[in-house]
Structure 1
Amino acid sequence: MDAQTYTTALAELRTLRDEVKKAQAALARLETQRDKQIFALAGYEKAKAERIAPAAGLSLADIVRIAPHLAPQPLTTSSGPPGTTVPAPVSDNPAVTDVPAPTAEPAAAVTTPGALAPSLNTSSSAPQPSTKPVPEPAPPAHPMSAPDALTAQAQEPRTLPSIPEGPEGDRWFAHTPNLASTHPNFTQQARSTVFLDTQTGVLVHRDQTIRLDLHAVTAAAILEAVFNVIPDGLERIYITAGDPWHAQADRHPFLRDAVAAWLNAPIPGWRTDTGRGKDRMAGHFVHARNPVGRYQRENGEAHVEIRSVGEWFDAAGASPAIVRDAFVLLWKALRAHWPDAVLMGSPSQTGRDLWTRTIPTKGQWADGYPVLSEELRGLLHATAGQGRTELITPPDVPEQLPGLVEYDRTFAYAKHTWKSGVGTPERVTARRFASWSEKEQTKALFGCGHWHVRVTVPDTWNHVGILPAPAPGERAWHYPRTLGTTFTTWAGGPEIHTALANPIQPWKIEILDGLLWTDGKPLDDWSRKLKEAWSSLAAQAELHGDADQRTAAHLASRAVRALLLYGIGSFAQRPRMVTGTTPRTAERDVPPDAEIIGFDNDTITWQRPTGFTRDPNAHPEWAASIWSGARAALLSQRMREDNTHVGALHAPPGTVVAFRTDAVYLTQPQNWPYHGQPGDYLRKGQLTGPVPAPTTEDELLALRDRGRAALQAAHTTGRA
């Protein structure tokens, strides 16, 4: 093959690539249409999966996945009396095994630590991996549903990483040289900002309100119209309504493609911003809902961002003037605690910047908080999940629910920032843990730790799962609860504590390995100031005499929540995925490790992983600890002032329908006190039954919205 033939073949390959992309999009549309048709057919009272499957060209398992209630009877019931349930074998669950993973040293078995229950039992002999067939467990209180079992058989389990044995693993327990979080020695610069509703054309700049004549909702039209009326110094445009990047969504197979095309459309006199200054990022950020377009004049005289205000809060129809007032109130509330506070482009940037300004300049951590080794950061990234999201479907709950009540934890993450691990952790192997006294073990489990554990569900358990286990999928987790199930996972101290000291019965926990930090308060001052700002704004939202100002204060309080929520998320510092664009005429410049995620006649959009950066504020140990505490509080939380406990495990068995990060959905109301403090459970929605049990996330969200509207209507009627 000569050079000319090679070049020609490359051009042909690019053409094939484009055709494949289009064919995949067309196939996705047809598959969506097919699935909708299957779902509609499944609504017929005599519909049978055995007849629909060949008509659709799918397997029985695929049909049941789309319409779970069509699961064949042999999969869900035995040949015995009606209502007798056949337990799903543990092996059907891809992330759960009855064969313990071999370890290089004995596991320390923790059943009930001294401070939590009468005794602490440790074992000095490691269970040996069994080579015999595992017997089927006793009938579970909550069998795996047929769709879950079929899906589990079709997917491979995800195995969590562990720390290497010996010196190689010990080498991980260090911090990254010359990298630490320190107090900044500069002041952020404020950016001139406007607020634009692209539906009405209303633009607000400081105390001015201007109506633009937007002939289109392209980035080019927006920049032209805005800079015609505000020619100098503008650096940020917040879109308050209209979502202009979705204007041509019907022309693209995926929303992300539509956004990428909108951001990368050519703009005369402008080009993609290449960045300037330490606090600026270069290039567009392609996001389906809240993208960021970064542009600069070709002569370099102007740099501007187009952003969605949805990054901060849901404006919910608020005018640009009210949104502007919300940002002003937010800035004033923050200035009461940080004299140099500046609102940056996103809540994650602003939240983390404010945190750096609480780093001590004297005392033990005056030189900053060291950043963990890349190995430990990678381990935490792979083994520390975020919020619990779980939908419990029939037959584990009734097909017709007696009701659906939503309890949402107010400003939840702020409840779990009072203590975090600092410095470089120490390694606690199973042998070392077993050698400790009962008091030392209990103290360690109450401390700031991240533990590699083998878990066994009690043989008489009758409630929801407690500890997360890896499920198929890159970042998927589920919560095993089948009786006698044994699985291996990683979990934080708060969840270990809940498993050992829950109100029903303790679970069996075996320590395989662990990371244990010194207890500290690196986030306490930052969180306390944000909570005070939130409380002040929430009070204004309740008491202000002007309706527009009440709305603005409410939005500002939601923005404070976003500062903390996304600030914590930014500590996790996931491996970065960089999005970029390349002209079709320069296709050979696309990075060789990039994945092409969109293209048009002029531009190719791609993304590629870049791994961990040398971020001085990367602290995934703090995010992991807070997430663990929040998941544990969804199950059990003590309200000291009321001397009572709240959470899913304090509701009757069988009444939990779903978890969604900070919220739990139950079939009946609970007498849980609410004082409006961070972490309190607020009854946010309620539907009286019978209510069809949701089987998909969309169905749950639809019921959630109905429940909130119903509860709001009931409150309004009560006030009247």
Structure 2
Amino acid sequence: MDRKTYTAELAGLRELRIEITAAEKTVAAAQKELDKLTDRRARRVAGLAGYEGAQAPAIAKASGLSVGDVVRIAPLLDPTPAAVRAAKADGQAAAPTPAPEVPEAEPAVAVAPTLTRPAPAVEQLAPAVPVTEAPTEVEDQVGAEQLAVLQTGSATSAPGETEPGVQAASDRTTTSIPGAIGQHPVAPVAAAPRPVVEAGPRELPTLPEGPAGARFEAVTTGLVSKRPNFTQQARATVFLDAAAGMLAIRDQVVRVDLGARTPGEILDAVQATAPGTERVYITAGAPWHDGAERYSTLKDAVAAWLNAPSERWTTAVGSGRDKLAGHFVHQRQPVGRYAPASAPDSGSTEIRSMGEWFDPDGADVVTCRQAFTLLWQALRRHWDDAVLMGSPSQTGRDLWSRTIPTTGKWAGGYPVLSEELRGLLHATGGQGRTELILPPRVPEQLPALVEYDRTFAYAKHLWKSPVGTPRRITAAAFAAMSEVEQTKALMSCSHWNVRVTVPAGWNHVGLLPAPVTGDRAWVYPSTPGETFVTWAGGAEIHLALSNHLAPWRIEVLGGLLFEDGKPLDEWGKRLKAAWADLTNLSKLHGDERQRTAAYLASRAVRSVLLFGLGGFAQRPRLVSGTTPIGEALPTGVEILGQDESVVTWQRQAGFSRDPYAHPEWAAYVWSGARAALLDMKYRQGKEVIGYAGALHAKPGSVVYFGTDGIALTERQMWPYRGEPGDYLLKGHLTGPVEHPTSQEEYLKLRGLGRAELAAKGADQ
């Protein structure tokens, strides 16, 4: 560079300085104006909080803020129930309460299969805050077993389109999903350190006396499950193999360039090929796991992928009654919702995992799309207005809502129980039984590992369910009943608080769940003389009293007796019919691709029932979100982790006012399924023609319980008819086999057993 050029560049630099100064003044003026407008908005939000009927979601939508931002401005709008906030605050302020001592076991003696009649006056334990059940491992269930399916307050939806979790654009609210075991291999991720918590007794809530107890025999005013008066709208859907870059659109397959496989690049490629697409199912490739090794947890990796910056796409904020907003962060089945950055109100596109519906297990993208087509056709034969929604839980609840009767006692809909009663059921009604039984109760070396799985298990337990307002049964009232009345009460839809004693000489598996702290919320005591207090459904209590080995000692402390109804019966019958159609097609069709597609579609029907049932549970929301580093965190949060830009947190958010919240139905079905793992009758008409279940296997031969299946050390002569609830031989690993010492070891052995049985071509 010569001197002349240098002088000219200096002059140009001075001119640029002047332009920058002017631009800075313009920006400063604009920022000042923006600050004034933001301040005015904050004052208006705070002012709206003075209205008694004000709701944070509505204000958030009108203001363009997230629900979390609205609550930070106006804490009065926090949707968390006051009782939950107060209980949480009290729990943080109070010193830890020591776990209750287990009473010393009395010498157990053989008793007749009748109930111990307690004294009329029974001491009531102090009411406890409802406890969310600890995550449990859910066995052999496609995708993420979202048994706790909830809706947060950051978005609105049509009845029946409730999402496991909903995230606002900036608050990014999500919901924790208990017990998901994924089906897809992922890059190794360093696990976040977890405190070691030893399991110990956990005190469960009881029914309080006086006016407080009346709320446990009540329903929520103005909250009823009603039949919808609208038809769901189908979404334009495509299927993408993200590993191979193959996109299935209607009846054609197109190869697309996905670039670095970020959400924005995937959406660009899809929309360029199939404009107007509203939903993309990833059938293979799991792009949300790309670079997972860089993060401390898999959830952090998925969150980072969902929120990857894009010039053309932004997080959807939702509009209208059936438009869900934000992302759902889940380790293996996430949901991303995006809108064009240039027109965020023009509509959104979802990116979802095929694993929500079924495990593709290597099926190509065309087969997955065909499975969806067959699923829709099968459901359409039983519902004229059937629409496949984003997830099985949404679809299941929507289909159920269209079976609500139009005549009879419940034509106006099914009332929703009081929040107090729902909290009690959540705290005391466990899900599927998951238990690994260790030596010396079983041999160190197993002669074999034989797996049985109950086919379409929950479908067998939908014929009867509790309805209406329950009647409270005190210990004295139960003691005053005759034995016939007691048996009738237990055989009815009921939920009981009991003191249990394992009988002397008992040498088999435990029958009833006992509450504990730690990683597992429930264990199943089986030591003779052991005594514990718990809650359980009538089916389980009746089995403990009347099993063919030895009756257990049961003292009823109280309970809830519902009216017997059939709110799930029609829904279950239609789903079973659709499942049977697809199962038969998967065996008889002449084309291999169609057989595979039909099998996958039958698995999807199972997910619709399973997730739909879990959706009724409506557990208290555990929401998570992110806050930029340097900004104040919301109150009462637990920090999960952080990166260079944001802190990830979670907190309890109480119950939502959901017209489809029926934990009494989920709890009753789960209780019946747990009882059937122990003892199930094969019937021909009204005649019992056989038995199956753990209690019909030899003592010491049961190795594992896994929600709807069990593993044993030897084969059983249990007939298999292909009907819901039947025990199917699923795997057989020839021994000797070293006993698994952990869940992970068992799952590996289970896989080997299934492979060995498949190789032998067992005719089951």
Q: TM-score, normalised by structure 1?
A: 0.79
Determine if the alignment matches structure 1 residue 612 to structure 2 residue 660: no
Q: Which residue number corresponds to residue 124 of structure 1?
A: 119
Check whether the contact 2:120–2:476 (CA below 8 A) recurs between aligned residues. no
Change (3 A) 1:415 1:390: same
- 1:97 matched to 2:102: yes
How many percent identity over aligned positions? 61
What is the aligned partner in structure 2 of residue 546 from structure 1? 591
Distance 1:423 1:125, change over 3 A: closer
Contact kept in structure 1, 2:682 and 2:689, CA below 8 Å: yes
Partner residue, 1:624: 667
Q: Is the 8 A contact 2:426 2:617 kept in 1?
A: yes
Taking the aligned partners of 1:128 and 1:230, their CA distance within structure 2 comes to 67
Q: Of 690, 700, 704, which residue of structure 2 is paired with 1:658? A: 704
- 1:314 counterpart = 2:314: no
Structure 2 portions without partners, runs of 5+: 1-97, 125-194
Which residue, 522, 526, 541 being the options, matches 1:477? 522
1:350 aligns to what?
A: 395
User: Could you tell which deviates more after superposition, 201-210 or 445-454?
Assistant: 201-210
Per the TM alignment, residue 206 of structure 1 is displaced from its structure 2 partner at its CA by: 1.1
Counterpart for residue 207 of structure 1: 251
1:593 Cα deviation after fit = 3.0
Identify the residue that residue 244 of structure 1 maps to in structure 2: 287
Q: CA RMSD in A?
A: 2.4
> 2:744 — aligned with what?
698
For residues 172-204 of structure 1, the C-alpha deviation after alignment (integer angstroms, 9 at most, x for no partner) is 210000001000011101000110011000001
Q: Which of the numbers 439, 446, 451 marks the counterpart of 1:401?
A: 446
1:424 matched to 2:429? no
Give the whole-Å Cα distance in 1 for the aligned partners of 2:280 and 2:244: 15
Residues of 2 paired with 1:95 and 1:314: CA distance? 43
What's the counterpart of residue 413 of structure 2? Answer: 368
Post-superposition offset of 1:234: 1.1
Please state if 1:171 is matched with 2:215: yes
Q: Counterparts of 1:327 and 1:344 in 2: how far apart (Å)?
A: 11
Cα deviations by residue, 1:231-258 (Å, 9 ceiling, x for unpaired): 2x21101000011000111101111110
Spell out the pairing of 1:4-403 with structure 2 (5 A cutoff): 97-98=102-103, 122-124=117-119, 154-231=198-275, 233-298=276-341, 299-300=343-344, 301-403=346-448
Q: How many Å apart are 1:604 and its aligned residue?
A: 4.0
Residues 122, 475 of structure 2: 8 Å contact kept: no
Deviation at 1:697, TM superposition (A): 0.5
Q: 1:640 aligns with which of 683, 701, 710?
A: 683
CA distance in 1, matches of 2:211, 2:442: 49
2:52 matched to which residue of 1?
A: none
d(CA) in 2 for partners of 1:684 and 1:483?
32
Q: Give the direction of change, closer, same or farther, for the CA distance of 1:627–1:447 in structure 2 (3 Å limit).
A: same
Q: Is 1:534–1:561's contact at 8 Å kept on the other side of the alignment?
A: yes
Structure 2 partner of 1:495: 540
Deviates more, 1:676-685 or 1:203-212: 203-212
**Map of 1:580 onto structure 2:** 625
Matched AA of 1:529: R
User: Residue 38 of structure 2 aligns with which residue?
Assistant: none
The residue type equivalent to 2:102 in the other structure is T
In 2, the alpha carbon distance for the partners of 1:183 and 1:191 equals 22
- Which residue does 2:575 correspond to in 1? 530
Q: Any conservation in 1 of the 2:702–2:710 contact (CA below 8 Å)? A: yes
Is 2:637 aligned against 1:594?
yes
Shift in alpha-carbon separation, 1:696–1:161, aligned structure 2, 3 A: same
User: Does residue 560 in structure 1 map to residue 619 in structure 2?
Assistant: no
Aligned residues: 590
Note if contact 2:264-2:312 (Cα within 8 Å) is conserved in structure 1: no
**Residue pair 2:270, 2:277 contacting (<8 A) in 1 also:** no
Query: 2:595 is paired with a residue of what secondary structure?
Result: helix
CA-CA distance at 1:219 after TM superposition: 1.0
Q: Structure 1 stretches of 5 or more lacking a match? A: 1-92, 101-109, 130-150
Aligned AA for 1:228?
Answer: A
Instruction: Report if the CA contact (8 A) 2:216-2:418 is conserved.
Output: yes
How many Å apart are 1:413 and its aligned residue? 0.3
Task: Indicate which of 728, 742, 757 corresponds to 1:682.
Answer: 728
Q: What's 1:715 paired with?
A: 761
Q: In structure 2, the residue corresponding to 1:403 is in which secondary structure?
A: strand
- What SS does the aligned partner of 2:238 have? strand
Q: Does the 8 Å CA contact 2:499/2:532 hold for their aligned counterparts? A: yes
1: CA distance between counterparts of 2:111 and 2:288?
54
1:598, distance to aligned residue in structure 2 (A): 4.1
SS at match of 2:476: helix
Contact 1:450 1:515 in 2 (8 A): yes
The answer to which of 165-174 and 218-227 deviates more is: 165-174
- CA distance 1:672–1:524, shift in 2 (3 Å): same
1:125 is displaced (CA, Å) by 6.1
Q: Distance in 2 between matches of 1:484 and 1:383?
A: 23
CA–CA separation in structure 2 for the residues paired with 1:212 and 1:582 = 35
Could you say if the C-alpha distance between residues 177 and 202 of structure 1 is closer, same or farther in structure 2, counting changes exceeding 3 Å?
Answer: same
Distance 1:334 1:679 in 2: 21
Q: Residues 120 and 600 from structure 1, CA distance in 2 versus in 1: closer, same or farther, beyond 3 angstroms?
A: closer
Q: Compared with structure 1, are the counterparts of its residues 247 and 323 closer, same or farther at alpha carbon in structure 2 (3 Å cutoff)?
A: same
In structure 2, the CA distance between the partners of 1:503 and 1:327, relative to structure 1 (3 Å rule), is same
Q: In structure 2, what is the Cα distance between the partners aligned to 1:621 and 1:125?
A: 27
More moved, 599-608 vs 465-474: 599-608
Partners of 1:636 and 1:649 within 8 A in 2 = yes
Query: What is the rounded CA distance, in whole Å, between the counterparts of 1:580 and 1:284 in structure 2?
Result: 10
Partner of 1:671, secondary structure, is coil
1:671 is aligned to 717
2:240 corresponds to which letter in structure 1?
A: L
- Displacement of 1:153 in angstroms is 10
Q: Name the amino acid aligned to 1:279.
A: D
Secondary structure class of the residue paired with 2:278: strand
Relative to structure 1, is the Cα distance of residues 684 and 695 closer, same or farther in structure 2, using a 3 angstrom cutoff?
same
CA offsets 1:35-83 (integer angstroms, 9 cap, x no match): xxxxxxxxxxxxxxxxxxxxxxxxxxxxxxxxxxxxxxxxxxxxxxxxx
Amino acid at match of 1:363: G
Superimposed CA distance per residue, residues 350-398 of structure 1 (whole angstroms, 9 cap, x where no aligned partner)? 0000000000111100111000000000000001110000001122211
Secondary structure of the structure 1 residue equivalent to 2:733: strand
Bigger mean CA deviation after superposition, 396-405 or 473-482: 473-482
